[in-house]
Chain A
Amino acid sequence: MTTAPPAGPGGVVKTPRGPDLPPPARRSAPRARRGLLRALPVSPAVVLLALFMAGPIGYCAYIAFTDLQLTGQAESSFIGFDNFREAFGDERFLNAVWLTLVFTVLSSLIGQNTLGLALASLMRRASKPVRTVTGAVVITAWVLPEVVAGFLLYAFFRREGTLNAVLDFLHLPSQNWMFTLPILAVSFANVWRGTAFSMLVYSAALNEIPKEITEAAEVDGAGGWRRMWHITLPMIRRSIGTNLMLNTLQTLSVFGLIWVMTRGGPGNRSQTLPLFMYEQAFQKSMIGYGTAVALLLLVVGSLFSLVYMRLLRTEV
């Protein structure tokens, strides 16, 4: 651009360019001003976000690289990647990662997601009263605060609980899953609590499918399952992706439910990452290590999100 244009045409070109060049400059000043002005209304939100979201996250990331303790330590120091190295050599951390994956796959991917879709498609065919009652019941579980839900399920699963009373009444052998298979019990609890959300998402998605397409498929002789597989699922693919992402991220961070039901026990058999993190940071007072685990949990969450984002992007 700096090279001088040939004299002949240059002179011609230059003249219109001369008056032409300033306008962008003139235009950019008001544009910048307008941009600033437009940013103004959101600036309080940005400041607040920076203060209350980015600030703590940054501080948290910093702590993860220190050996900060809640008690028994005069001064904390920067220790680099030691916390992370320790985590990967820690059997209980690996156990927690494994349990977190089991919990997420069981309760979020298989449980909430599939059951939500099944409920949503069944409800489309059900009569109005059935739909209203089912919807109300399922959503009640969703609306209940986590701790209340946790306590209800604790009362349901415990040895003297409701489930055993029912099993007893039916002359079936009783269970003690909170003790023998706690990860299954808390997964059930999470399914019970979280299915409503998937159901709502899928109800909305199913309503979007044009009737003509389904009818056309029907006319062509496609049965229920084939319609589901070839018409419905591809058409709600985006909703599936969104739903999976939200479900998974929420399930990964479930704490209250498990804490109320089992406290991660017995013997760490239901200790998912959030509970492990809590134990390290607050019960063993090792805030630094606990925070490092929290960051690793963030990594697990983002890995899941990446997979789902991929799923959302590919076109059929």
Chain B
Amino acid sequence: MRPTHRPLLLAAATLLTAGALSACGGGSGDDPDTVKISYKQSTDNEIRVMDTYLADIKKQFEKANPGKKVKLVPIKAPDAEYYTKLQQMLRSPKTAPDLVYEDTFLINSDITSGYLKPLDPYLAKWKDWDQFIDTAKTAAKAADGKTYGVPDGTDTRGLWFSRSIFEKAGLPADWQPKNWDEILDAARTIKKKVPGVTPLNVYTGKPVGEAASMQGFEMLAYGTGEDPLYDPEAKKWVTGSKGFKDSLAFVETVFKEKLGPDVSDALDPNFPTRVRGELLPEDKLGINLDGSWLPQDWGEGAGHEWPEWSKKLGLAHMPTQAGQAPGKVSMSGGWTWAIPSKADNPDLAFTFIETMQTKANAKKWYVANSGIAVREDVAADPSYVKAQPGIEFFTDLVASTHYRPAYPAYPKVSTAIQEAMESVTTGDASVADAARGYDEEVESATDGEVIEK
């Protein structure tokens, strides 16, 4: 009996183990004719701007390249979680897609980690690259001088205000604040005269992530003086600056005087989605400090159709702290298409980028995404300028815009900013304490590469 049993058992054991092992070691089952593309899908189920656009490009690509296939791998998550998920995927050749959508603020950090592939050999052979404006070309250029991403547009930021709320509050329809106090005064007027609406929104806190740092804090800080975060000459991060504390104090005032959204709403990670889909279209928000891309949710077929937004909303540029030159502030970022260093089909992935970046397709994307063109041929195209109200206003801001100091340490500095903002928003810390907390955090995040101002 026993002798017959033993081989049987052995066989069973080997089979089981082998099965389990091969299940995890089987490779990603990649076939060389498929490009896998990862991008961020909106957490709002009705917003499918990017999905629609990529599906269209996929069709064109598969038609032009017979036998090749495109597999779209959407990652549905708020910004911060999207980055994490992506980084985890990029770590292993088994999960790395062939093409990824990377935010420019993170790209240097990911390049340092060796996640991305330099695109220079491809770009050298690609005619259309000459059409990209210079700032766009440097957007994804790393310290090593190589380029790692192709930008698909840029953005600027400003103040959006509700005309009907302004009318009720007796504020001018062509409102243009000249300094921070005028913004706060307008908000106070709205609070007094139009009860039941949120006077002013400034994104804040860790839950909304980079939106708090960039749309909120940096729009303030860059209006207090030059280089408030990073000193490019000393190549060090700035701590202890007055501009930093003043910007925090602005945030504190907004929430202390209850000029902003309820704190529990402001600290809800889905708040940016609510602002675009609910608060602005329903006239519940007076002034909104936000990005140029908002209309992408309101276009035809975008989900929250609201074509009359340009009549309902006014635009004003963000003033500097006391109205000092140059008078207005904007921040610019944007996203790029990048190829992971562990991609299986990098050549095919670049062909896909080329398909996306034909002039016609690029224009289609800028318009759908309410992006600001980074290609000269599209920017000069009158049909692009007229495609959407607001494009002109936000394109003009490019002249006075700032770029984030997107060095490898930036993501951590950004989180430190969000923490400082959150603690003054909830009232857990005073401005001085929050600023001190930021200084300590930045010092440890950058290994002491700081300069006190």
Contact = CB atoms under 8 A, between A and B. Distances in A.
A62 interface: no
Given A47-B20, A48-B17, 18 more contacts: A40-B13, A44-B12, A44-B17, A51-B20, A51-B21, A70-B88, A72-B110, A72-B411, A74-B112, A74-B114, A159-B264, A265-B205, A265-B422, A266-B263, A266-B267, A266-B425, A267-B422, A285-B411
Interface stretch (B2-10, B234-242, B382-390): B2-10
Given A43-B13, A176-B264, A265-B267, A285 B412 contact: yes
B269 interface: yes
A282 interface: yes
A29 to B, nearest CB: 14
Interface string B140-155: 0000000000000000
A267 B13 contact: no
B340 to A, nearest CB: 13
Nearest to B113: A71
A93 to B, nearest CB: 13
B206 interface: yes
B304 to A, nearest CB: 21
Given A265-B205, A265-B422, A72 B112 contact: yes
A193 to B, nearest CB: 22
Contact of B13 (A44, A70, A265, A266): A44
Nearest to A40: B9
Nearest to B6: A37
B53 to A, nearest CB: 27
B116 to A, nearest CB: 11
Interface string A140-173: 0000000000000000001100000000000000
Given A43-B13, A265-B422, A283-B84, A73 B20 contact: no
B264 A179 contact: yes
The SS class assigned to the A binding surface is: loop
B262 interface: yes
Contacts of B264: 158-159, 176, 178-179, 266
Given A44-B13, A72-B408, A282-B84, A267 B426 contact: yes
A230 interface: no
Given A176-B264, A178-B264, A267 B428 contact: yes
Contacts, number: 94
6 contacts: A40-B13, A71-B87, A72-B108, A266-B205, A267-B426, A284-B412
A274 B423 CA distance: 21
Nearest to B21: A51
Interface of B: 2, 5-6, 9-10, 12-13, 16-17, 20-21, 80-81, 83-84, 87-88, 106, 108-110, 112-115, 205-207, 262-264, 267, 269, 408-409, 411-412, 415, 422-423, 425-426, 428
A265 B106 CA distance: 25
Contacts of B2: 37
A178 B262 CA distance: 13
Contacts of B9: 37, 40-41
Contacts of A40: 6, 9-10, 13
A135 B112 CA distance: 56
A159 B263 CA distance: 11
A74 B408 CA distance: 10
